[in-house]
Chains A and B, each alone.
Chain A
Amino acid sequence: MMRPTVVAILMSVIFPMLALAQTTDELKNDERTPDDVLTYGMGYGQQRFSPLTRINRNNVKRLVPAWSYSMSDNRGQEAQPLLKDGILYLTDHEKTVALDALSGKAIWKSMIEYPPDTTRVVCCGIVNRGGALFDGKLYRTILDAHVIALDIKTGKEVWRTKSADPKDGYSMTVAPLVASGVVIAGVAGAEFGHRGYLEGLDPQTGKQLWRTYTIPAPGEPGAETWPGDAGSHGGGSTWITGSYDPDLDLVFWGTGNPAPWNPVNRKGDNLYTNSILAFQPKTGKVVWHYQMTPNDPFDYDGVNELVQAELTIDGTLRKVVMQANRNGFLYVLERATGKLLAANKFVKVNWAERIDLATGRPVWTEVTKAALEGKSVQVWPHLTGGKNWHPMSYSPISKLIYLNTTSFGWDYQPLPSEEVANLKPGQPHYGIKRPFVYIFDDPDGRGHLRALDPVTGRSKWAVPFKSPNFSGTLVTAGGLVFTGRLTGEFMAVDADTGKTLWEFQTSAGIVGQPITWERDGKQYVTITNGATGPYVMRSGDPNLANVPAGGSVWTFKLFEEYSGPQRATSGN
């Protein structure tokens, strides 16, 4: 009886010291340490670039599955896996799991429950996008707008903090960010008339340290861009993890669309929806902002990931942050100041002619002007966006962005203003006639995998797909780009040409985020499958009719002679 107690006391003394081994410095260096993946985006700058070359153009044909692990769930698997000390950590809407990375065997599984009416305010997939590792804990969000911390050794809950109430439209799917020792999380819910925010929590206790709303309160700067109290349920979600520049000590986080979608009762710019916010992680204080789509009628939800790079623009090396926005423009801004350096179309766009670099504002076409007057229009891109949430990658070798884009428009038909008035938080906030009609220009090219020059927006190559891809990409120094398809194929293409070099049919559609890592001198690639999302659930795409549900994790390695079962390196 005494012995476990003694161990527990000893652990309580020793454990904090061990836990400190996982520190802010490790997070800062994540992109340079390929034997672990500690952050969303494979580095604070979210480049999703790996320096590993053991798997490369010449041998990728020998890539085979090492193991597969069932997530025992039919919902979407969108989470980026994390890896530390040979253990993979994965999340979905109802569980967190720790797996031995070499054998695929479970070390622990920690289930989550949330009230069944939570999913009333989940618009676009019952998902979770991953955890954050820091100080011996895994931090994650839950659909019912809670943030929790788990002990990474046992999966046991250390703390639980209620952030908001789903009855008011809020939900949480985002992978948190740990920056400057603060756990930062955001919310979804603009489709249900919430007021978006970012929140900083204490990693030890879960205590809320600060909250920054994405829509100003009455009297604050920016409030004048909303009529009446429209901003109080005006949306501006924060459902994709921001990137972090430790030198500037600034976090860059995208904000989402205004609510309701129909703009008729919210004339004005609707700050700070569809914007990039640069803020201090310790305080949540916004240092600069830039708005991509003012007064948005088209759900051009500006949350997409903000990838950092150093680019030569007009002969000057600039530290930039880049976003491929749902609205079809690729934005490049100076990290320190928010100055707009480039904004070019990367897909078909007809809502704006261009972005005025001097003012930073879009030059609207007749399409947007008509939509803002309450008229029906055909608009490109579709509300799905030229690129949806699935993250892009950037190679500092090729200086190119690799991303999956869509190629279809939307038959936008707003409802009359009286049908949009008096919506209450927690109720659907669309005000658009159903169904949301897709306009496919080319059924053989509903989407493309592209390599883009971030400064010009021009594609170096573009590979068409019959169904668009909604998977993240990963680029390696081995000259490979990994991504997945809604029909289940996981693939590697040549980063120089886009040519498919390898493909493997997994058991379900892929909407995940591939990672690669190294252990004992061997390189591995890990991806989840199990598809969901508005396109999968509602497009009626005939190519998806026979793709099964059911999520799994897959890890691949180069083929080698069978040498017995893989032994677990830790845990069991």
Chain B
Amino acid sequence: MIMRRAPPLRRAYVPLAARVALALAASASVVYADPDGAKIERGAAIYGDYCASCHGDGLRNTSGGATFDLRRLRPEDHDRFLNVVLNGKTQMPPWRGALKLEQIEAIWAYIRATIDR
């Protein structure tokens, strides 16, 4: 389970208007049409409540290097991502026991979708 990679994502779900909005600090909500969309949307919500306060809304990190810029995560970094989320790193808390594996995978799906779009 832990070693599983998130499935590859299609890129068709971001309307042009949403891309324009995302270029600004304020981003409109994105409608995901494909089957992965629900997972990504769930991931976006979890990311917002648990991650955004340190890593930035929509992954836009302006912390000056104080926190990791998640946009640097490559698809092959999945296991490293999972390890850090579960066990923590520097001031990042361990989320083991607080977030379910399914929730962390949804965050990963959201991160990948946001980087790859």
Interface residues of A (CB under 8 A from B): 74-75, 93, 116-120, 122-124, 126, 411, 413, 428, 430, 433-440, 508-509, 531-532, 534, 536-542, 544-550
Contact = CB atoms under 8 A, between A and B. Distances in A.
B65 A549 contact: yes
Interface in B63-82: 63-67
Interface string B36-68: 000000001101111011111110111111110
B92 interface: yes
Contacts of A123: 53
Contacts of A544: 62, 64
16 contacts: A75-B66, A75-B91, A93-B91, A117-B93, A119-B92, A120-B98, A122-B53, A433-B48, A434-B49, A435-B58, A436-B48, A438-B26, A531-B64, A536-B62, A538-B62, A548-B64
B25 A120 contact: no
B63 A440 contact: no
A399 B47 CA distance: 46
Given A116-B94, A118-B93, A434 B26 contact: no
Given A434-B57, A435-B52, A440-B25, A120 B93 contact: yes
A548 B65 contact: yes
A438 B62 contact: no
Interface residues of B, number: 34
Nearest to A143: B91
Contact of B27 (A118, A413, A435): A435
A116 B97 CA distance: 13
Nearest to B97: A117
A538 B64 contact: no
Contacts of A435: 27, 48, 52, 57-58
B104 to A, nearest CB: 14
A300 to B, nearest CB: 18
Nearest to A446: B25
B64 A509 contact: yes
A434 B44 contact: yes
A485 to B, nearest CB: 14
B26 A532 contact: no
A439 B56 contact: no
B26 A411 contact: yes
Nearest to B26: A437
A564 B27 CA distance: 55
A91 B53 CA distance: 22
Contacts of B93: 116-120
Contacts of B95: 120
Contacts of B29: 413, 433
A122 B53 CA distance: 9
